[in-house]
Structure 1
Amino acid sequence: MTAAPLVAALLGTLGAAGAAAAEFPPIALPPGFRVELVADGLGAPRMLALDASGALLVSIPSQGRIVALPVAPRPDQLRSSVTVASGLRLPHGLAVRGRHLWVAETGRVLRFRYDPTTHSAIEPVTIVPDLPPGAHHWTRSIAFGPDGRLFVAIGSSCDICRETDRRRAAIVSYAPDGSNERLVARGLRNPVGLAFEPTTGALWTTVNERDWRDGRAPPDFLALVRDGADYGWPDCYAHEGVVAPDPEFRGVSDCRDVTLPPVAFPPHSAPLGLAFYAGTRFPAAYRGNVFVALHGSRAELRAVGYKIVRVVLGAGRRPRVEDFATAWRVGDRVWGRPVDVLAGRDGALYVSDDHGGRVLRISAVP
């Protein structure tokens, strides 16, 4: 489907909306979709979650804060932010379960008692006290599985090396009280997004591969997480459907037991958040698709990413990747960098942008 640029109609408070509109990204979407500004001036928002009231919860690691964006009277109105928790150490991953909010800092996972009517988080309890420290990859993402266990994504401490802590470059899981730690999958250099497929309960993750500078390999990827699987790093990588030894790292693996990821993205695309769409507001062809935020390459590299893609999955068919929301970067002008994608209860997609300090809403035109 051909993309067509749509610029949001910012209909909130005139002063705030007018200021935001001047720098609003010229996002291109397929026909029949529109994008609107939910909130701006947030600094560098990262991961998203929904509370029981429908408010968006947003982590802002650089400020050590979690904020709530309560539901506005109309979808096209700007939302005001409410501080939920502050004084945190690089809070990133968020999860809401029952009456609690879970927050993943770099070195631990906290659980707060959370009130969705006042958006207040109190009585923090340290659930996992000793995650590996920041070093190179500092983000910690979390998600609860259908089995009730807490899954944590932890990146490597380096670009390419032999880790001494088996929890590095891996996904681990815990009982809700932080006990019974299990290694779920390894060889994932920097896993960031975590999402469970609604129909099967299968876990998927986005992975940022090593920093080769020629832009040819290895690709970043989207992986179906299999219990006990090894995805190759640092000894091996997947490229063009084949798993091969890394020629710049003299590893010990022959790569025979490495799991091949089903979806590859161009090197340095930096896939971060992902969300399965199970709503009914998008056209039927979009249901069951997974949307992935490609944060984009660093300034000194060839420009790739800076967009949201949809991955069409199907039993017995090779996954298909298509552009969905593009033009976050036009030439040398960077308008934004998408981080997380969340499917809202209203059938829209919500997107955080840590370059523009915004949260956006993408919906189907009625």
Structure 2
Amino acid sequence: MGESFARQGLYGQRYLLSRFGTAASVGMNVDPFGHNGMLPQILRGQRLDSYMFLRPGKHESDLDDSLFWWEAPDGSRVLAYRIPFEYCSPPGDVAWQTEKSIAQLDSSLGEGMVFYGVGNHGGGPTKANIDSIHRYDRMGTFGRMKMSSPREYFDEMLARGPAFLENLGVRRDDLQHHAPGCYSAHSGIKAWQRRAQFNVLNAERWAAVSALDSGVEYPREDLERAWKQVLFNQFHDILPGSAIEQSYDDARDQLGEAVAISKRIITRAHNLIAARIDIPFEAATQPVVVFNPHPWAVEEDVELQYGVQPTGVHVVDGTGVTAVSQRVQSVATTDDKGRGAVAFRASLPPSAIASTACARGRPSTPRPRAASW
């Protein structure tokens, strides 16, 4: 979800500041399976003004430009560069890497970035890589070859001025799709991720409300630990389903920890908030509090489990009027006839809390009929 993209940038920039004393200004995604069209807005919010990526290649999309403006629906732009050919190279000289890269570059730009170094799983530039760059630069085989950085390249492009920049193409769409099978390769990780993301966000909302309402300390460290488990397992081979089997055992457990942390925070917050709601005592009833964590109105069927009520229960709203409800299957597996469950319809405004009452036994007056359930 979009919030995860925002948190990746937040924690990434915090890490760079804590370790190197500076934040990044160039976004880099060298081995992606697709880029959402909202990314330019998120990147600019993270103080990144440029973006470089490898895929999709020319054979995978209608994108022909090497350098272009990538624009989100809100008008946010980043200067984007598609890495030609590959981002990693063999350990020897860079001639083959350079030839392939130049062949894919837009020659009208005059300059381009060629990436090199041994990947994917560790390593980096070798001595042979570096020696060959200096050698080919002296020979002029590929023109001027300069050891540089993405920041320096983008600054040189920006320094060319408005006439050059205004003539660049503008992409107002996503950059999809590489390896589309990965989007459906492993259903478990998709479900675990979505569940964890929603739970952590829900925990943040109610923790903030509880801190303001009840004066308890905001569980910042617990929430950070939960978010980091979520973000770590969005690595590009774990989330798409292209990792090895054992990694999904770890992902399931780590995302489960994020959910467990979140549920403890949510339960504590709900208990503290509910304890402060002034519900008048009424014999033979059990108060029920329903929470809507969403910033939009919700009308939802709420299922309530109960015990020690052989004749069932009925639901009364906050004004004492019998509400539409229906007995449903209890989750209990015993033959205790006093256990049961009831479903009732709750309508709540955005980010609201509502209370109702669950009275025992059948209502003294006929219940309104529901059109459908």
TM-score (norm 1): 0.22
Structure having the larger proportion of residues in helix: 2
Q: Which has the larger radius of gyration?
A: 2
Structure having the larger proportion of residues in strand: 1
TM-score (norm 2): 0.22
